[in-house]
Amino acid sequence: MTQLPNFSIKNSNSSPANTAKDPQVAPPKSKPKPPQQHPWLIVGLGNPGKKYNGTRHNVGFEMLDAIAEAEGIPINTVNFKALFGKGFIGNVPVMLAKPQTFMNASGESVGALVSYYKIPLKQVLVIFDDLDLPFAKLRLLPKGGHGGHNGMRSIIDRLKGSRDFPRLRIGIGRPPGKMDTANFVLRPFNKQEREELEFTFQHGIEAVRILVLEGFDKSATYVNSAKAMEQLG
């Protein structure tokens, strides 16, 4: 076997004794890593398919689309049975999701996303339509029950009964006369209602921004204040 040449170079001024006395050079200190920031999961509820576009029951989808457009977050992938997008609000990471399971099974998607990404429930915001609020009004709550909303019922069931996550309710009003509730929520908005909703969406965008960047209390004060309601007309 051919012996490889030895390329070590000896310093004529050094000796084993001198080398031992040389001070040890300490390795550079590594900078501490900032704590990892949990993302927010913001969910809009609705039904998939063109036939449901623009209906009252899909106003959660529309609010989420408005947030995505305002913050420059594309919702262009499918993840855990949801149309999905990742981005930032300010410097805070967020994930936007529109479950494609149909309303009554929304929890299948939300539960899987929460579990996989290990998101604290206090950072899971669900946006949905509410029959019990006056039309175009917003209400932000830190927790609560499903209030008869089947999408929320499904989510609570999939989160093992936990109700401790914030929700943004959007009022769609009550059905006129003796109209069946199920038919009412699947009706589209008229032109005047659409104009009112544009103000609602703008308030919702700002409310979510405050929630993510400054916390629940400040956002709730903004959403539920008389000033915000007056601006809705």
By annotation, the residues acting in catalysis are 57
| Helix%, strand%, coil% for the chain, nearest 5 | 40, 20, 40
Q: Return all residues near 202 (Cβ < 8 A) that are at least 6 apart.
A: 66
Could you tell me the two tokens for 45? 């509820």
Residues pairing with 42 in the sheet = 96, 125
- Evaluate whether 149 touches 133 at the Cβ level (below 8 Å): no
> What's the DSSP call for residue 97?
E
Secondary structure (3-state) at 166: coil
Angle at 87 between CA 83 and CA 88, to 5 degrees: 140
> Which string of DSSP letters, residue by residue, matches 15-36?
-HHHHHHSPPPPPPPPPPPPPP
Q: What is the C-alpha separation between 112 and 114, in angstroms, rounded?
A: 6
Q: Whose CA is closest to 57, among 182, 199, 146? A: 182
Tokens 């149309």 label which residue?
A: 83
